[in-house]
């Protein structure tokens, strides 16, 4: 990428073509040649970090390619957020923080490397916006966030509860166990936990009992239909309150008709319009970090799911503007 004024927001179309590189949203790249992340942020208040890790997937691998697919999909999105009323990228001095250097050849280093990069971003004064990767990346991200901010509120959008004890797959951690672990490690304030988009069939009621025992709320797709999107958003805002909150979006919460590019699809999910409206309605929530996970580009159709992931990220960044502006 050319030398770039970090306060300017996105590269213009012609500069982008000349540079020939695909960063998230045509943003400046914080560390084009590696190096320490916290030093590289230079005043950025939001850093978008790719996490090409799918070692936690149980069925269909491929989410490791998602950061690259979202970069490519995101170049068509301009920066002005109608609700935020500002150029979101310029306001946040947002940057592409590159990828976490994780590889399935060194699985034992994955979680600590992810945690360390997220911690560096926070130390640099920016909010981390992660693009997975499978959902197991949320656990190390929450470890870093909770270390800095204490137990956080959590808005968890997903078809699945992700509170498995891992027994189905031989008792190991995977993309369906991270929330159970996060609760047991005290990273999430159970009373400020809300899950949205869950739907059956599921193994048994035990996973949901874990959430209820922690004091969390579950909003199934049937609840969503009964209460309506605005009602669910209001419930989410009331649940997390005014304190630090993390937003995690598993793209399988969205119906496979809108988000086919994912490894564990479940029929009967939210529409893309519903989920985007839900995120927009979280404006003024004190968002300290966000991730979009479980996009599997090889299963995607025409890049629809990658584009939706880019839009979800954009709306999350727009919320971060409003939280800081209020
Ligand atoms: Mn899921
Ligand atoms: Mn999940």
- The per-residue pLDDT for range 257-315, each reduced to its tens digit, is 999 999 999 999 999 999 999 999 999 999 999 999 999 999 999 999 999 999 999 99
For residue 1, report the distance from its CA to the centre of ligand 2, in Å: 34
Closest of 246, 264, 84, 262 to residue 168, by C-alpha: 264
Ligand approaching nearest to the C-alpha of 176: 2
Pairing of strands 80-81, 86-87: antiparallel
Q: Kindly provide the b/e burial profile for residues 200-222, where b requires at least 16 CB atoms within 10 angstroms of the residue's own CB.
A: eeeeeeebbebbeebebbbbbbe
pLDDT of 166 higher than 60 = yes
Helices 66-74 and 304-325 pack at an angle, to 10 degrees, of: 70
Residue with tokens 């990220």: 313
Distance (angstroms) between ligand 1 centre and the Cα of 250 equals: 5
In the reported structure, the alpha carbon of residue 252 is separated from the centroid of ligand 1 by a whole-number distance in angstroms of: 5
d(CA 17, CA 11): 9
Please give the structure tokens belonging to residue 120. 């560096």
What distance in angstroms lies between residue 158's CA and the mean position of ligand 2's atoms?
6
Cα 158 to middle of ligand 1, angstroms? 5
Q: What is the pLDDT of residues 104-133, one digit of tens each?
A: 999 999 999 999 999 999 999 999 999 999
Ligand with minimal distance to 59 CA = 1
pLDDT at 1 over 70: no
Please give the DSSP secondary-structure letter assigned to residue 79. Answer: S
Q: What distance lies between CA 194 and its chain's CA centroid?
A: 15
Q: What is the pLDDT of residue 326?
A: 44
Is the pLDDT at 17 greater than 90? The verdict is no
For residue 117, what are the contacts with CB-CB under 8 A and spacing of at least 6?
A: 37, 49, 97, 100
d(CA 143, CA 151): 9
Residue 171, sorted as left (phi over 0), alpha (psi -120 to 50) or beta, turns out to be left
Centroid of ligand 2 to alpha carbon of 259 (angstroms): 14
Q: 160 CA to middle of ligand 1, Å?
A: 4
Structure tokens at 294: 């479980």
Of 62, 13, 32, give the one whose Cα is nearest residue 261: 62
How many A from CA of 3 to the centre of ligand 2? 38
């Amino acid at each position: 990428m050319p030398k770039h004024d970090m306060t300017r927001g996105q590269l213009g179309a012609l500069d982008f073509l000349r540079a020939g590189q695909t960063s998230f949203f045509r943003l400046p790249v914080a560390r084009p040649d590696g190096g320490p992340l916290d030093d590289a942020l230079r005043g950025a208040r939001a850093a978008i970090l790719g996490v090409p890790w799918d070692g936690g997937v149980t069925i269909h691998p491929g989410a490791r390619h998602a950061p690259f697919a979202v970069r490519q999909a995101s170049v068509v999105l301009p920066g002005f957020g109608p609700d935020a009323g500002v150029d979101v990228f310029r306001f946040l001095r947002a940057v592409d923080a590159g990828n976490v250097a994780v590889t399935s050849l060194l699985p034992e280093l994955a979680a600590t490397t992810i945690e360390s990069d997220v911690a560096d971003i926070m130390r640099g004064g920016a909010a981390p916006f992660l693009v997975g990767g499978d959902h197991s990346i949320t656990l190390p991200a929450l470890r870093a966030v909770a270390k800095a901010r204490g137990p956080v509120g959590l808005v968890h959008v997903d078809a699945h509860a992700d509170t498995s004890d891992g027994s189905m797959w031989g008792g190991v951690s995977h993309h369906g166990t991270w929330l159970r672990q996060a609760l047991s490690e005290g990273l999430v304030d159970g009373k400020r936990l809300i899950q949205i988009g869950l739907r059956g069939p599921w193994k048994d009621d035990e996973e949901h009992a874990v959430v209820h025992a922690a004091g969390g709320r579950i909003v199934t797709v049937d609840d969503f239909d009964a209460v309506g999107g605005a009602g669910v958003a209001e419930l989410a805002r009331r649940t997390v309150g005014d304190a630090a909150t993390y937003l995690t979006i598993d793209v399988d919460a969205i119906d496979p008709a809108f988000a086919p590019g994912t490894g564990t699809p479940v029929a009967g999910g939210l529409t893309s319009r519903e989920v985007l409206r839900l995120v927009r309605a979280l404006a003024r929530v004190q968002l300290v970090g966000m991730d979009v996970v479980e996009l599997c580009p090889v299963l995607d159709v025409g890049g629809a799911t990658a584009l939706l992931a880019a839009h979800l990220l954009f709306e999350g960044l727009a919320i971060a503007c409003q939280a800081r502006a209020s």
